[in-house]
Chain A
Amino acid sequence: MIQLTNLDKYYSTKFTRTFVLKGIDLEIKSGEFVTIMGPSGAGKSTLLNIIGMLDEASAGEYLFMDEPVYKIKERKRSELHKHHIGFVFQAYHLIDELTVYENIETPLLYKGIKGKERKSMVADMLDRFNIVAKKDLFPEQLSGGQQQLVGVARAIVGQPKLLLADEPTGNLHTEQGHIIMDIFKKLNQQGMTIIQVTHSEENAQYGKRIVQLVDGMVKSDDLVAAEAG
């Protein structure tokens, strides 16, 4: 699904060029659950954003579903966001002016899903995350954990093939984090490809593979030892 070859990301100032990512080679197959770890400033978010096409690489090659990303036009990119990629952010990034219900509904509106089906899909999500009672509240009226549940619901309601999550539990208690992780695991079992960034060893264990990033380079890339539960 994702193939990165010798990928660089740098920021140029007048005289210097600061590399954030350098020579990244990474292949992620459909159905994987990859955790990206590493110290702060290592370039994890940058990498995730490039994979999610929120940002562009400076050099190197990125194939998404066997297609070179630099060739993908704006229109197609927005199609990919609609149908194939879901995002969960550390800062939730819910739309303040919309209710919980409307937030979850938004991607479906962009997908062009019609009334009744859309309603049932949103209802499904509300049900699944146990937030039916909160559907008419605005984001600022929710706790952080609840907001992130909405964020996850919004990311997966359109049934994307790839879910990207940048420190989804970073602002949450351990407890709330586990809930999110359980959901991720279930989604992965249902066939969703997931790439998450986390600092937590514990959360990393939910995935199947851990990529260690240090100073913009891949330091290690290991499968998670099969665990019991």
Chain B
Amino acid sequence: MINILGMTLGISCALVILNFVRYESGFDHHYQLADRTFRVVEQMKFQDGVKYLNTTAYPLANALRSEFPQLQYVTQTHGPVTGIINNPDLSQFEPFEDHQILFVDNFYLQIFNTDWLHGDPVTALNDLQSVVLTRSQAYKYFPEAISNGRSVLGRTINIKVPGEFEEQFKVSGIVADPPPNVTFRYSMLLPYTFYEKQDPYATGNWSGNYQGTTFLTLSPQQQPHEIEKLLPTFKSKYLSPEDNRRKSYYLQPLTDIHNDGTYGSAPGSYVLSSKYLYALTFLALLILILAAANFVNLTTAQAINRAKEVGVRKTIGSTRSQLIKQFLCETFVITLISAMLALSLTSTTLSSINELLGLIKLQLSIDNFTIVVTAGLILGVTFLAGLYPAIAISRWNALKALNTNLSTGAHNNTPIRKSLVVLQFAICQVLLGATLIVAWQLKFMNNKDLGFEQQEIVNLPIPEYDLERLEAFRTRLQQNPYIQQVSFASGVPTSHNLKLGTTFRLKSRPEESKLPAEMKVTDQHYLETYQLEMLAGTGVSMAKNDGQFTGFVVNKNLVDLLGLSPQEAIGQQIVINEGEAPIIGVVADFHNVSLRDDIEPCLIFNWYPDFLWEAGIKILPGRSIETLEFIEQSWKEFFPQSVYRFQFFQDYLNGIYATEKLLLTFVNAGAVLAIIIGCLGLYGLIVFSTSMRIKEIGVRKVLGASSSQIINLFSAEYIKLIGMAFIIATPLSWIALNKWLDGFVYRIDIGIGIFLLTLLIMLLVAAISAGFRMWKVIGSNPVNALRSE
């Protein structure tokens, strides 16, 4: 029973993790041209480092197309962007918000092949104001599409992208929804030509702040380095001398994008580094090994009880190979039962994981792959776990097996069995230590002081960029006594996907000294709302009426790079790409980009209201619910045309770290499982070894041993085994975990304490299961222990 239970848990855990790893490592692999398709990425050199960008200037695709006619396809995209969708035909229609509006050219659908349900793939995006909907969106906007998709072709929807445009688009095609594991998800496709016409400045600009994603597909015989080799000459033709010096282009394979953190997350997507996936696979393997080691242990142990059976079978003429076959068959049946149970357990677990993590749209399910893996596991485990006991048992000669007391047969196997036990304990300890440390690190990242306030702040989008209106909105909000601060800004302190980039230098220093920086365009209330700590100077000052900024509040990191103290920095003139102004304030460092990355130089200042995209509203703690209603009402009064949407800043942060959370879930589940499997195995072993040594306990009592002496004897044995496991496990996990932690900028330091903790847990588990089992034997009359048979 313990065999089956342990094995079932082990296999389920491995299957769940493998499924997840396969899902996460299979992103974008299904596109027919995936292995020839690359994203063009950019590296930007600065005095003290390189900045990695996954977007490139908009004119790049056209230039590549004309310079490299040998490329099969080059495509330029813009987005995905958020828009508000209206169906003008339906008066009752409630506007929808859509976050996955992607602008693509005709080549996009050649590279990223998809099933066309209606419309003509070749001409669908030819018309400037056409739109291709995914099936689910078509159903959403046109309920009649469910019965007759074709009827939707030619219908129009109204799309408003706040601050950019509001236009009518004619539905020219319906495609299948992209599968969940693609990096570039979209709900509708708009012609890139429309965006070009809409914003000719951005789309014609090589200089850097306006960027989209560019992909290319090589011809069948081409190698990526052949093209990469030509890129330096290519770029020198198009980029300004300064940009040409700093920027270089590389090709990143499409299938690497999701698992390579170098270039960060693509817009609207997330990256799960292969580092995590390896760690998870490793975890799954460890758990599987643990379960298999348990299985071998218990089977061997129990098989000794069958010594008599083996003896009898041998005397009636069973050959050794027949015996081995018999034992293998039995193992096979047990493994098969476990695997069947595991499959059903896995499918329930997978569907609950899907629900749990709706955020990143997992769709895990049992498929042929899982079945094949399971079959492989069954065979592998049968041989691993079945062969050793089978050979060991069948080797005993018939007479010995028949004659000896039960325990004698075991003597030969003791060292091997003991090393198995040690191995098992060691794996358990490695897992336990790894788990605690991974969990600790992730908790550390979650709880780390971000350098700004995150509680009780609600963020709302701002659809109109009119200063007077914003001020009126602010006044309105501040009528509510529970609202403490209202600030309008380009984004929250930890801007993840959306980052305004620029460069900065002291005006007194040469052009070459400029460094990249991140900009946050805010109003004067930003610092108070997010409670950024002032080190010197004053807060944000408002821009002049013509939009010219009047001063920068910068972070400590930026003044450090300038080699100045916060006090010295005040009053220094700073030049950025967009103009110049003096430093008027310095704030303490806060996580201005992402927790995973280093803090970057940051400039906070007021500029055109067009950059104030988001409101941050700080509410009195404990008053969110009643206040939210008020906020919504006020918002709808001021912006009746738009969709109301709010998010707690805290939730947004949790969203960014979804992959960390996910990992934590897996690691926790794995740890609990590992501990359960380990405990089951430990319990089984101890039950067995005590039952084998019940006689010994009886004999020792007859010889005058007291209960405590017997307990000491057995404890000493287990302590010795666990101690050996500890000595093996600790250095291994210490090295491995330090390696893993080195990948984090902000990491915990591991001391011996955590390992001692695992040791303690192991000892505790052993003591409980052994003590519980032995107490019965020790407490009863010795005659019960000594009775033969």
Contact = CB atoms under 8 A, between A and B. Distances in A.
Question: Do A and B make up one complex?
Answer: yes
Interface of A: 49, 52, 54-56, 74-75, 78-79, 81-83, 87, 89, 91, 93-97, 106-107, 110-111, 138-140, 154, 158
Interface of B: 404-405, 407-408, 410-411, 414, 695-696, 698-707, 709, 781-783, 786, 788
A12 B221 CA distance: 89
B703 A110 contact: yes
Given A81-B702, A106-B703, A95 B405 contact: no
A79 B404 contact: no
Contacts of B411: 96-97, 138, 140
Given A54-B782, A93-B695, A93-B786, A140 B404 contact: yes
Contact of B786 (A54, A78, A139): A54
24 contacts: A54-B782, A54-B786, A56-B781, A74-B707, A75-B706, A81-B702, A81-B704, A82-B703, A87-B702, A89-B786, A93-B699, A94-B699, A96-B405, A96-B408, A96-B410, A96-B411, A97-B411, A106-B700, A106-B703, A110-B700, A110-B704, A110-B705, A139-B408, A140-B404
Contacts of A74: 707
A82 B705 CA distance: 7
A54 B783 contact: yes
Contacts of B695: 93
B175 to A, nearest CB: 73
Nearest to A45: B783
B728 to A, nearest CB: 23
Nearest to A79: B704
Contacts, number: 66
Nearest to B409: A140
A23 B699 CA distance: 29
Contacts of B404: 140
A79 B781 CA distance: 15
A91 B405 contact: yes
Contacts of A79: 704
Shortest 10 CB-CB contacts between residues of A and residues of B? A82-B704, A55-B783, A81-B704, A110-B704, A54-B783, A107-B703, A54-B782, A78-B706, A49-B783, A93-B699
B212 to A, nearest CB: 74
B308 to A, nearest CB: 15
Contacts of B407: 96
A110 B709 contact: yes
Contacts of A89: 786
Contacts of B704: 78-79, 81-83, 107, 110-111, 158
A35 to B, nearest CB: 21
B786 to A, nearest CB: 6
A83 B704 CA distance: 8
A140 B709 CA distance: 25
Nearest to B414: A97
Nearest to B717: A97
A3 B590 CA distance: 88
B408 A140 contact: yes
Given A93-B695, A96-B408, A78 B783 contact: no
A140 B411 CA distance: 9
Contacts of A96: 405, 407-408, 410-411, 696
Given A97-B414, A138-B411, 20 more contacts: A52-B702, A54-B786, A55-B782, A55-B783, A56-B781, A78-B705, A81-B702, A81-B704, A82-B703, A87-B702, A89-B786, A93-B699, A96-B407, A96-B696, A110-B700, A110-B703, A139-B408, A140-B404, A140-B411, A158-B704
Contacts of B701: 78, 81
B709 A95 contact: no
A95 B699 contact: yes
Most chain A Cβ neighbours within 10 Å, of B704, B705, B709: B704
B interface SS class: helix
Contacts of B698: 54, 93
Contact of A81 (B414, B703, B783): B703
B703 A91 contact: no
Nearest to A140: B408
Nearest to A106: B703
Contacts of B702: 52, 54, 81, 87
A154 B705 CA distance: 14
A79 B709 CA distance: 13
Contacts of B703: 81-82, 106-107, 110, 154
Contacts of A78: 701, 704-707
A111 B704 CA distance: 8
Given A79-B704, A81-B702, A95 B781 contact: no
A75 to B, nearest CB: 7
Contacts of A81: 701-704
A6 B701 CA distance: 28
A78 B779 CA distance: 12
Contacts of B705: 78, 110
A26 B709 CA distance: 34
B774 to A, nearest CB: 15
B171 to A, nearest CB: 82
A96 B408 CA distance: 7
Nearest to A95: B696
A140 B707 CA distance: 27
B522 to A, nearest CB: 76
B73 to A, nearest CB: 74
Nearest to B704: A82
Contacts of B709: 110
B781 A55 contact: yes
Contacts of A83: 704
Contacts of A107: 703-704
Contacts of A54: 698, 702, 781-783, 786
A165 B320 CA distance: 41
A222 B184 CA distance: 102
A91 B788 contact: yes
Most chain A Cβ neighbours within 10 Å, of B408, B699, B709: B699
A96 to B, nearest CB: 5
A89 B699 CA distance: 10
Contacts of A56: 781
B695 to A, nearest CB: 6
Nearest to A94: B699
A107 B407 CA distance: 21
Nearest to A157: B703
A139 B703 CA distance: 17
A171 B414 CA distance: 27
A178 B653 CA distance: 88
A152 to B, nearest CB: 13
A58 to B, nearest CB: 12
Contacts of B706: 75, 78, 110
A154 B411 CA distance: 21
A87 B786 CA distance: 12
B211 to A, nearest CB: 74
Nearest to B400: A140
Nearest to B411: A96
A158 B404 CA distance: 28
Contacts of A110: 700, 703-706, 709
A195 to B, nearest CB: 15
Most chain A Cβ neighbours within 10 Å, of B404, B410, B703, B783: B703
Nearest to A110: B704
Nearest to A107: B703
Contacts of A75: 706
A54 B785 CA distance: 10
A140 B695 CA distance: 16
A12 to B, nearest CB: 16
A19 B140 CA distance: 85
A76 to B, nearest CB: 11
Contacts of B781: 54-56
A1 B722 CA distance: 48
A227 to B, nearest CB: 32
Nearest to A78: B706
Contacts of B699: 93-95
A93 B783 CA distance: 12
Contacts of A52: 702
